[in-house]
Structure 1
Amino acid sequence: MAGQRGAWRRAIRHAAGLGLAAVLLASGCAAPGAPDTTVRDIQRTLDARAAAVIGHDERAYLEAVDPAAASLRTVERREFRNLADVPLSSWGYRLGDVKRHGTRAVAQAELRYRIDGYDTAPVTASRTLELAEHDGYWYVTADRAGKGGGRQLWQQGDVQVVRGKRSLVLAVGQDGKRLRSVAATADRAVPAVSAAWPSHWAGRVVVLVPASLGAMGELLGAPAASYRGIAAVTTGETGAPGTAPADRVIVNPEAYAVLGDYGQGVVLTHETTHVATRAYTSAATPMWLSEGFADWVAYRGSGSTTGQIAPELQRAVRGGDAPAGLPLDADFGFGGDADKLARAYEGGWLACELMAERWGEQKLTAFYRAVGGGRHRAGAVEKAMVDVLGTSPADFTVRWREYLRERLDG
């Protein structure tokens, strides 16, 4: 191993192009006025680590780990092997804040990777790295999720890979037959979404199926209990086409399993809609629109009755407790009142159903894009309603409440 480490060190030295002043600084004897190359040197270590992932070079990958960190090397070896079947096209680290204390450093970094054939933009994950300097070179001594981040799928076990025609399913600890069924359902969801959403999108989806509800919570960096009754969620960030990080649909294996074929199809079509509309969803988009539109696509052409789709809201309307206004973002919070959450989704769906019925499907999708084109929430819906629908929020709310009674109180 000593000879291998030496070879790796020589490669890093060559890549970095270090001069005498930088070498003196790395050894702790900095010449007057010599630049601090800590960030650059740590980036070189991470670049070598990233190249090893893409090159499927386990030995080179482990060379970036501190030789004295035996337990970390064991963990890193296992995680590297867990990634073996994942078709990666890129893997890299973007350094942020770096704090150095002598021969030790803590670095905030953004892991960025793409899956070949599926990601037009990278998935991003915040990481906190601890490093140690030996003989002028930096080695990783710890690698954990950054603030607010979660674990990665390959940190939970050997990643299973199932390819569909329009989908890629990545899982841990699942039955192969079940994963093929998930891929087939996702394959049907993609054209259903494309038929309802005319704007360009990738036309494919990546689905993650962790081993358990607890594992799902770890991926999301949130308490598992928050997702107990949620069959799936979509992760991602809003942004312009080509700039927003790639989305992942994460399935709750426990809640998803109890659904029939119809329910599973609705769930994956809903989540795939979020993937398709991500580039046109912004901070200006209210939850009733983003979630309502996803449900509208999922139920479009299903033949289900309004009462079947919106049972909780129907009970409220028939009980004389119809909502006074469109659902608020807070109404969509997980982990709270399940009935209130259901009514929020159902209310958003009926708002989009009203737009499609009264103004037409093209106006509905144009309204979605117009709202998402706003930079801020204030005024975005109001402007889009005037520009696209020729109405006002107050008038639309009156129409929506009448529509609820018409569709649900019969």
Structure 2
Amino acid sequence: MAVALVCGGVVYTVGERHEDARARSVAPQTPGGSQSTKPSKTAAAVAALRVAIDTILLRRAQAVQTGNEPLFLADIDPANKKLVAAQKVLFANLVEIGFTELGYSQAEERFNPAVLQAHGRTTYLVRVLMRYQIPKVDITPVTTELGYTFVSQAGRWVLTDDDDLDNDLGPGAHQEAWDLGRIEVLRGPRVLVVVEKGDTKRGRAIVTEASEGLAEVSAYWPRKWRGSVFVIALDETNVRDARFADEDIESAASAGSTFSSLPGQDTADGTVAGAYIVINPNERDRVDEILLSHETTHVATADLGGYEPLWLAEGAAEYVSWRGIEAISGPGEVGKWEQDVIDEALPAMSSLPDDAGFYQNSTDVYGVSWLAVRYLVQRLGLDHVEDLYEDMAMHGTDQASRDRILLSRSGLTEATLWTSLQTYQPQR
């Protein structure tokens, strides 16, 4: 199906764009060996189109930063009343979050026959990168992605849809907290909580619990992390990359990574900048500092790289949360669970929990991971375990690297660590 890009009177179809690209790839060589650089009319049309879309994206960012709703809505297709209403909600949410940095940029054009059929010959479907920074939450600007559909109307481009590409984008794209209905933002020192508009009481309670959880991480994990906690507690099962309606239905919360560079943008894995906590909507009334100290440990270590094995990541988070339990209830409850892990979970396994299938494992992999970290703390000391964690998170890109780091820092391999757990006698 042809797609016309109307710029300065030039109609540039999908087929012509492909032909133009092919022609450039086999363009005649000049005597000096270089290709002819004379721009085609179609190339000029594409350049004009991209300038027009860039201008719209700049206006949208400027509108949020200046609180100018009419400017934000100026480039929306007025015939799409549903989109206009949704964009009003989005604008209010973005202003309420309050970004220190916000920008939108075009990535690459996409083609979808169904979208073209729905919107007509002048459709331009493009993946857009949203780069932003939330004050006191994002230490560095981070990136998420969107899919925008533009059409040309009476000589100007307007946004006519913002979800046509959702199924083709990365996990969690167009599922940020501000994308999912009107929100309310509540703040505490180093804590930001998002709930539905009007859910103020619940939001304040979560701010209190998150603040206590953050204090436990500061007390029980050696890394001097100065970041803040962003907690999203909405009545939504799909938020960011947390999909509680699917495999994570049993999880009470999830700490999902943020990226300063998305996977595939500059490197295959991307660059992790931090993490946000998303609460399972079914667990919002049971959120406490123990749960949030676990998730905040993940947030406090997220920017290290994320290459540590899951048994170490989850074991460290459980270590911090159970230190909090011990501070409240005394050592008896901790000792009871430790003995349960030794008596029941260890015999059901033959090695440390593997990354593959970790979260689907019916055995108490969290308990075994916690026991392994407890053992390492007693053997090495907490500061050395934290150093081990950082080294693993930054450099444990494959099993050989993990084995080398663990052996050099503890004198153990994963196999000998597992063997040691079989004869582990806890210090009571």
Q: What TM bracket, shorter-length normalisation?
A: 0.7 to 0.9
Match of 1:244 among 268, 272, 283: 272
Pair 1:148 & 2:171 matched: yes
- 2:400 maps to 379
Pair 1:217 & 2:238 matched: yes
Change over 3 Å in CA distance of 1:45–1:309 after alignment to 2: farther
> What is the alpha-carbon distance in structure 1 between the residues aligned to residue 392 and residue 259 of structure 2?
13
- 1:114 maps to 133
Match of 1:158 among 179, 182, 188: 182
Query: 1:337-361 deviations in whole A, cap 9, x for unaligned?
Result: 5x42xx1111111111111011111
- 2:372 maps to 351
Pair 1:366 & 2:387 matched: yes
- 2:291 maps to 267
Contact 2:140 2:260 (C-alpha < 8 Å) held by counterparts:
no
Match of 2:312 among 289, 307, 314: 289
Change over 3 Å in CA distance of 1:206–1:24 after alignment to 2: closer
Pair 1:27 & 2:38 matched: no
> What is the alpha-carbon distance in structure 1 between the residues aligned to residue 89 and residue 203 of structure 2?
23
Pair 1:398 & 2:419 matched: yes
TM-score (norm 2): 0.77
Match of 1:180 among 197, 200, 204: 204
> What is the alpha-carbon distance in structure 2 between the residues aligned to residue 116 and residue 265 of structure 1?
23
What displacement does 1:238 show? Answer: 7.1
Contact 2:293 2:321 (C-alpha < 8 Å) held by counterparts:
yes
Pair 1:54 & 2:68 matched: no
- 2:26 maps to none
Query: 1:10-43 deviations in whole A, cap 9, x for unaligned?
Result: xxxxxxxxxxxxx994432688455331333322
The code of the aligned residue for 1:300 comes to R
**Structure 2: gaps spanning 5 or more residues:** 13-38, 262-270
Contact 2:213 2:296 (C-alpha < 8 Å) held by counterparts:
yes
> What is the alpha-carbon distance in structure 2 between the residues aligned to residue 359 and residue 221 of structure 1?
35
Contact 1:108 1:129 (C-alpha < 8 Å) held by counterparts:
yes
Contact 1:130 1:141 (C-alpha < 8 Å) held by counterparts:
yes
> What is the alpha-carbon distance in structure 1 between the residues aligned to residue 341 and residue 71 of structure 2?
58
The code of the aligned residue for 2:10 comes to G
> What is the alpha-carbon distance in structure 1 between the residues aligned to residue 155 and residue 242 of structure 2?
35
**Structure 1: gaps spanning 5 or more residues:** 1-22
Contact 2:220 2:320 (C-alpha < 8 Å) held by counterparts:
yes
> What is the alpha-carbon distance in structure 2 between the residues aligned to residue 311 and residue 238 of structure 1?
39
Contact 1:121 1:244 (C-alpha < 8 Å) held by counterparts:
no
Match of 1:327 among 353, 376, 382: 353
Query: 1:254-292 deviations in whole A, cap 9, x for unaligned?
Result: 224246xxxx2111001111111012243x311111111
TM-score (norm 1): 0.80
- 1:138 maps to 157
- Comparing 201-210 with 84-93, which one deviates more in the overlay? 84-93
Contact 1:313 1:346 (C-alpha < 8 Å) held by counterparts:
yes
Change over 3 Å in CA distance of 1:392–1:204 after alignment to 2: same
Pair 1:42 & 2:58 matched: no
Contact 1:87 1:116 (C-alpha < 8 Å) held by counterparts:
yes
> What is the alpha-carbon distance in structure 1 between the residues aligned to residue 410 and residue 71 of structure 2?
59
The code of the aligned residue for 2:123 comes to R
> What is the alpha-carbon distance in structure 2 between the residues aligned to residue 330 and residue 238 of structure 1?
23
What displacement does 1:60 show? Answer: 0.4
> What is the alpha-carbon distance in structure 2 between the residues aligned to residue 103 and residue 316 of structure 1?
64
Task: Give the length in aligned residue pairs.
Answer: 369
> What is the alpha-carbon distance in structure 2 between the residues aligned to residue 103 and residue 229 of structure 1?
46
What displacement does 1:328 show? Answer: 1.0
- 2:144 maps to 125
Change over 3 Å in CA distance of 1:237–1:310 after alignment to 2: farther
Pair 1:254 & 2:307 matched: no
What displacement does 1:132 show? Answer: 1.0
What displacement does 1:167 show? Answer: 0.5
Pair 1:231 & 2:252 matched: yes
Change over 3 Å in CA distance of 1:175–1:104 after alignment to 2: closer
What displacement does 1:49 show? Answer: 1.0
Pair 1:79 & 2:98 matched: no
> What is the alpha-carbon distance in structure 2 between the residues aligned to residue 378 and residue 314 of structure 1?
26
The code of the aligned residue for 1:122 comes to P
